[in-house]
C-alpha cells in the first residue's frame, strides 16, 4: 500500500482538472460560491474554499463564467453562471473525459 502522503498528492493531481469541469457543468444554473462549495462536496468533488474562489475568478477572467451580484438579500452574494463559451468548453472537456474513461477501462481490462 502506498504511503498516505504520496497517495494524497497523486489524488490531488488527478482531481484538480475535474473540479473545473464540475463547476462548468453545475453552474449552468446560477449559484454563489459557498453553495457551490457545498454542492461540489455532496457530489464527491471535495474542494477547499481557498481553492474554489480563485478558480471561480480565473474561470470568469477566461470568459468561461459570468457573474452578477445579488444585493436583494441582507447579505450580498456573487452569483456565477457558465457562459456560452464555458458551455462549449464543458462539452469538449466532457467528450475528452468520456474518451479517457474508455481508454482507462480498456487498459484496466487488458491487465
Q: What does the pLDDT look like over 78-101, one tens digit per residue? A: 999 999 999 999 999 999 999 999
Claim: this prediction has a pTM higher than 0.75 = yes
Output the pLDDT for position 12.
84
70 CB contacts (<8 Å, ≥6 apart)? 32, 76, 77, 78, 79
How many CB atoms are closer than 10 A to CB 34?
Answer: 12
Query: What confidence category does residue 32 fall into, taking pLDDT thresholds of 50, 70 and 90?
Result: very high
What mean pLDDT do residues 64-83 have?
A: 93
DSSP state of 67: E
pLDDT of residue 3: 85
Mean pLDDT for 1-23 is 88
Amino acid at each position: 500500500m502506498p504511503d498516505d502522503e504520496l497517495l494524497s498528492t497523486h489524488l490531488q493531481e488527478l482531481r484538480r482538472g475535474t473540479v473545473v469541469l464540475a463547476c462548468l457543468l453545475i453552474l449552468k444554473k446560477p449559484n454563489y460560491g459557498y453553495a457551490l462549495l457545498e454542492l461540489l462536496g455532496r457530489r464527491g468533488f471535495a474542494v477547499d474554499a481557498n481553492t474554489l474562489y480563485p478558480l471561480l475568478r480565473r474561470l470568469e477572467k477566461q470568459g468561461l463564467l459570468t457573474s452578477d451580484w445579488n444585493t436583494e438579500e441582507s447579505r450580498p452574494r456573487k452569483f456565477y453562471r457558465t457562459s456560452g463559451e464555458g458551455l462549449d468548453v464543458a462539452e469538449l472537456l466532457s467528450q475528452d473525459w468520456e474518451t479517457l474513461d474508455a481508454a482507462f477501462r480498456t487498459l484496466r481490462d487488458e491487465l
